[in-house]
Amino acid sequence: MTKIELNRIRRFVLRLGKTLHEYGTPAHRLEGILNDTTRQLGLEGDFLVTPTSLTFVFWEQNSEDEFTHVMRVCPGGIDLNRLAATHQLVEQVLAGQITLDQGFERLEQISQLPSPYPDWLDFFTWGSTSLCFAALCGADALTTMCAMFAGWLAYCLTLWAGRSKRVEEMLEPLSALLIALLGSGLTALGMQLNVPILVLSGIIIFIPGLSLTIGLRELAARHLMSGTARIMDASMTLFKLYFGTILGLALGGLWWGNTNLHMPLGNYNELQYLAVLGLASSLLVTFKISQRDAIWGLLSGCIAYLGAMLGNYWFGASLGGLVGALVVGVYANLYSSIRKVPSSLVLLPGLVLLVPGSKVYVGLNSLVSGENILISTPTGVQVFLTFMSIVAGLMFANAIVPPKQRL
């Protein structure tokens, strides 16, 4: 193999790794894909993936010369539409159906793919997610409607952060601070609001419950560096959100005076399923799932929630997520095998409805302030058991129906 060919293969694998990381591929999956691709292209390689760095080592068979490349990256978001397109490219490369030149061209095309949904729907989704979460918590109608506007405020701040590096660094605490400050101000004007639920609903998209679950899943797969880094990053995000909330409430008390920020929560069982359906629908837009897979992603959310309810009835709240994760994991692997697409396309919308990210925030508030936001505040042990039951459910699902796709 000539030096020019070696360089082209290395550049392609580097570009592929960065692309998959950017669109939300977990470390244990990404390292496997890079190994398979490198071997198919005629090289050997070792790879180390973390949320903030990618390390590549290449060498030829029967050669002691190695090429090492370390790449600094930002923690990736989730774009399931582009992830599915990249997965298709990987399968074509491994099957020898396209050349490297075609692969480079296809990666560039994928990076230019537009969102499957218009911007106005993305804006609407942030509000509907907050509204549905507040309804699911049992908030009254006024708090629920104000939560929708809080979600829209968080969306506007996110757009601002995309244009300003300084705002990007303080996006989470700034969002929590402004929502808490405005909520306490409206309460001072006489509106009967449950401000803690309003704040939690407004920042719910920032709550890193999925990141915590993926981090634990990576630790279970013995990818210790990536799992630990992801959990620490998610923990810092939670602390930033909580600090912003506390500061916003403190400023509100200083400016507006002390008011009653807590309102009793109801138990609106007839709205529970509508709220879950609304949350599941919003996640399709948030994760940018293609429209051809949208209905199956929505079904995944319903399956996960119903499975969790059944698990709660059988095993209690702490282990109920095991049944939900098991059912949605089997469903996702079957869908992946039939459609030849990544299982994450339908797994993530269901998984997000199971992860107790908001419960970590609630537990943190209870630990620091001694106040309970929800009717039943979970302990740290219960939250940890819930996370681990979800991880265990996914592992059992992979054992029952092994995933046949690499993502």
Residue type, 345: L
Give pLDDT, residue 357.
55
Give pLDDT, residue 406.
65
Average pLDDT over residues 197-216: 88
Q: How confident is the model at residue 378 (pLDDT cuts 50, 70, 90)?
A: low
Average pLDDT over residues 316-341: 88
Q: Are 180 and 252 in contact (CB under 8 A)?
A: yes
Tens of pLDDT, residues 17-59: 999 999 988 888 899 999 999 998 889 999 999 999 999 999 9
Is the pLDDT score of 386 beyond 90?
no
Average pLDDT over residues 122-136: 91
The SS3 call for residue 140 is coil
Give pLDDT, residue 368.
45
Mean pLDDT estimate for the chain: 86
Give pLDDT, residue 274.
86
Rounded to two decimals, the pTM is: 0.85
The SS3 call for residue 269 is helix
Quickly tell me which residue has 């990076």 as its tokens: 111
C-alpha span between 321 and 5 (Å, rounded): 49
The SS3 call for residue 359 is helix
Nearest CA-CA partner of 240 in 303, 291, 174, 325: 174
pLDDT, greater one: 357 or 38: 38
> Which of 57-71, 137-151, 372-386 has the lowest average pLDDT?
372-386
Is the pLDDT score of 369 beyond 50?
no
Is the pLDDT score of 145 beyond 90?
yes
Collect all residues with Cβ–Cβ distance below 8 Å to 296 and sequence separation of at least 6.
Answer: 335, 345, 346
By percentage, how much of the chain surpasses pLDDT 90? 40
Q: How confident is the model at residue 179 (pLDDT cuts 50, 70, 90)?
A: very high
Where is 134: in which H helix or E strand? helix 119-136
Is the pLDDT score of 355 beyond 60?
yes
C-alpha span between 389 and 327 (Å, rounded): 13
pLDDT, greater one: 13 or 375: 13
Q: Are 379 and 314 in contact (CB under 8 A)?
A: no
With DSSP H G I counted as helix, E B as strand and the rest as coil, what are the percentages for the chain, rounded to 5?
Answer: 70, 5, 25
Residues 346-362 as b/e (b if ≥16 CB within 10 A, e otherwise) read bbbbbbbbbbbbbbbbb
Give pLDDT, residue 361.
53
Average pLDDT over residues 255-265: 64
Give pLDDT, residue 275.
85
Give pLDDT, residue 387.
83
